[in-house]
Amino acid sequence: MASRTLNRTIFIVIASPFLLFVGALVLYPVVWMLYSSFKSTSEIFAGVFALPKKLFLGNYRQVFMVGSMGRYFLNSILVTVTSVVGLLVLVALEGYAFAMFNFKGKRVLYIFVLMGFMVPPQALVISGFQLMSTLHLLSTYPALILTYLSWSSFGVLVLRGFYESVPHELTDAARIDGAGHWRLFSTIMVSLAKPALSTVGIFYTMWIYNEFIYPLVYMQRQDMFTIPLGVMFLNTKFITNWGLQMAGLAVATIPPVIIYFIFQKQFVRGIMAGALKG
């Protein structure tokens, strides 16, 4: 027993530097970007690795005034919140249907829905652009929101799995009490499904907030850009102004990181569930 503890300790001692090294590799670029945003551009060029001597806020001022990040932020939030809320409603309903009903062609329909995973956004963007153009929706919020509402496949997958795992005693008891499907759904299922919905919600929020291709193609007007687009724009238009770009990157990064730390549990649970076979 003692030798096992010794082995373990030796193992930890040897593995730690390696893990720390990997951790540093993972964190440093982000950390670098964050502390560089508090340095003026000339400061950054003077010493790339150096920590800021004092917190320079000029970049952030610029990023909101000249870089319109405030506006982009608004766009991103609006689109993200609307889309995610919509998606949660859609997938809660659809997942319930796949789990609780039986009908002809259900299996085929389910595979049809799952096909959504295989399709890359790029393939859709070209004709999507034409579609939005015809509907006169280019450079409008609906162009993005409607597109994101089609991303139900992921949520359906998760919610259906969840609903199927609810013990039948619960649902049977409710049905014996005379509850129809709608009653069953709205009173019991939605509140029970909260953990599943919150996990799905977190993922959708991350994906939609960070989405780049659709805003790139659909948003032809600069004031309708979303944050990722804004970051790219800062990079291409203000090439030499590194301070400004860093601040832009930081503004883009901080919300997802905060959400990540707050909702880590849901995030982790979602990924974990994905790793385990049914």
Partner 1 sequence: MATRWPLSLESAAPVLTVSGPAGVCMRTRFMRSKGALSSAGFAAFLFLFPGLFFYVCFEIVPLVGTTVLSFTNWNGFDFRQIKLSGFGNFSEITKDHVFWLSLLHNVIFTAGSLTLRLGVALMLALILDQSFPAANFIRGVYLLPTVLSLVTIGVTFKLALSPTLGFIVPFFKAIGLKALAIDNLGNSKTVMQTLVLIDTWCGVGLFMFLFTSKLMTINQDLHEAAKVSGANVFQDIWYVTLPLLKATTAMIMLIGVIESFKIFPTVYIMTNGGPWHSSEVLSSWAYFQAFTANRVGYGSSILFVQLIITVIFAFIQTKYQPREIE
Q: Is there binding between residue 204 and partner 1 (CB under 8 A)?
A: no
User: What string marks each residue from 164 to 203 as x (binds partner 1 by CB under 8 A) or -?
Assistant: xxxxx---x--x----xxx--x------x--xx-------
Give the range of 55-63, 64-72, 146-154 binding partner 1 by CB under 8 A. Answer: 146-154
Of 38, 39, 44, 218, the residue at the interface with partner 1 (CB under 8 A) is: 44
Contacts to partner 1 from residues 60-89, by CB under 8 A: 89
- Phi-psi group of 45: left, alpha or beta (phi > 0 → left; psi -120 to 50 → alpha; rest → beta): alpha
How far apart are the C-alpha atoms of 89 and 92, rounded to whole Å? 5
Closest CA to 38 of 272, 246, 207: 246
The minimum distance between CB 14 and partner 1, in angstroms, equals 10
CB 205 within 8 A of CB 80: yes
Q: Is there binding between residue 231 and partner 1 (CB under 8 A)?
A: yes
For residues 77 and 124, which CB has a smaller minimum distance to partner 1 in the complex? 124
Q: Which residue bears the tokens 């503890």?
A: 5
Locate 14 and state its tokens: 């040897």
CA angle 73, 211, 129 (to 5 degrees): 105
Of 128, 204, 218, 266, the residue at the interface with partner 1 (CB under 8 A) is: 128
How far apart are the C-alpha atoms of 220 and 243, rounded to whole Å? 26
Give the range of 10-18, 56-64, 66-74 binding partner 1 by CB under 8 A. Answer: 10-18
Q: Which residue bears the tokens 């259906």?
A: 160
For residues 84 and 91, which CB has a smaller minimum distance to partner 1 in the complex? 91
Give the burial string for 115-130 (b: 16+ CB within 10 Å, else e): eeeeeeeeebbeebbe
Of 6, 26, 51, 65, the residue at the interface with partner 1 (CB under 8 A) is: 26
How far apart are the C-alpha atoms of 13 and 36, rounded to whole Å? 33
Q: Is there binding between residue 146 and partner 1 (CB under 8 A)?
A: yes
Cβ contacts of 168 within 8 Å, gap of 6 or more: none
Q: Is there binding between residue 158 and partner 1 (CB under 8 A)?
A: yes
For residues 38 and 267, which CB has a smaller minimum distance to partner 1 in the complex? 267
How far apart are the C-alpha atoms of 237 and 225, rounded to whole Å? 14
Q: Is there binding between residue 6 and partner 1 (CB under 8 A)?
A: no
Of 75, 197, 201, 228, the residue at the interface with partner 1 (CB under 8 A) is: 228
The minimum distance between CB 228 and partner 1, in angstroms, equals 4
- The footprint of partner 1 on this chain (CB under 8 A) covers a number of residues equal to 114
For residues 64 and 110, which CB has a smaller minimum distance to partner 1 in the complex? 110
